[in-house]
Amino acid sequence: MAEQGAESELGVTGRTRLRRMRHKGSHRRGDLDAVLGAGFLCHLGVVVDGAPMVVPTVYGVDGDRLYVHGSVASRSLVQAPDGVVCVSVTHVDGLVLARSVFEHGVNYRSAMIYGVPRLVTDPEEKLRGLKALTEQSAPGQWEYVRQPSRKELAATALVALDLAEASVKVASGPPDDGDGPDAEMGLWAGVLPVETRFGVPEADPLLPAGIEPPAHIAGRAGELLGRSPGR
């Protein structure tokens, strides 16, 4: 009994810590880098005529800068040159299925970045930013394909944001009601994981026979997305 008691206490301590950890906020740069490094799509929020507008777009990280692609961001700059924008990146890890509706939730990792965006006009920085964007989703692709011409560069809208004001939120772990009264109902509870993966590359139907995908593309089939590199 004494040994069992000691085990129970350890168990409860671990459980308590897990429960406290289900929702974790952070302002650490390392945590921000982990969330940003695990994806390539963000939701960009801008204010247009007093109303919020949320558009999905691709991003890239280069040092302390976030580069965001698209004309929406640049249009919002014209409207409010010193207006703040908000960029959200979210990775869904699973559905938290509890014993009661009230305790249901989603396991996720998300980052929110605020900043006054700057329209990138310098061709050199634009190239660097576009490289960051390209390599964010498809590492190796920048060197493999034809890089932008001067005309293409001019036709591309790119916006830079400092990675200075940001927060990270992570929710993980099992539901919280495993030791409450609802546990007596004998219902199954746990997490239904959500996994995002790259599939098998699909060749452009116009591609001549005999051209195989290079290793940096072919090698990604089955790769988990939404995980930080190296995880």
Range 3-62, binding a second copy (CB under 8 A): 15, 40-41, 43-47, 50-56, 58
C-alpha–C-alpha distance, residues 129 and 135, integer Å? 10
At CA 168, angle to CA 163 and CA 171, rounded to 5?
Answer: 160
Q: How far is the CB of 198 from a second copy (least distance, A)?
A: 6
b/e sequence 85-97, b meaning 16+ C-beta within 10 Å: bbbebbbebbebb
Per CB under 8 A, contacts with a second copy among 133-162 are 134, 137-138, 141-142, 144-149, 152, 155-156
Q: Which stretch binds a second copy (CB under 8 A): 25-33, 59-67, 117-125, 195-203?
A: 195-203
C-alpha–C-alpha distance, residues 128 and 134, integer Å? 10
Of residues 33 and 182, the one with the C-beta less far from a second copy: 182
Q: How far is the CB of 149 from a second copy (least distance, A)?
A: 8
Q: How far is the CB of 228 from a second copy (least distance, A)?
A: 17
Q: How far is the CB of 187 from a second copy (least distance, A)?
A: 6
Say whether residue 92 binds a second copy (CB under 8 A).
yes
CA distances for 210 relative to 8, 144, 207, angstroms: 63, 17, 9
**Tokens matching residue 216:** 């940096």
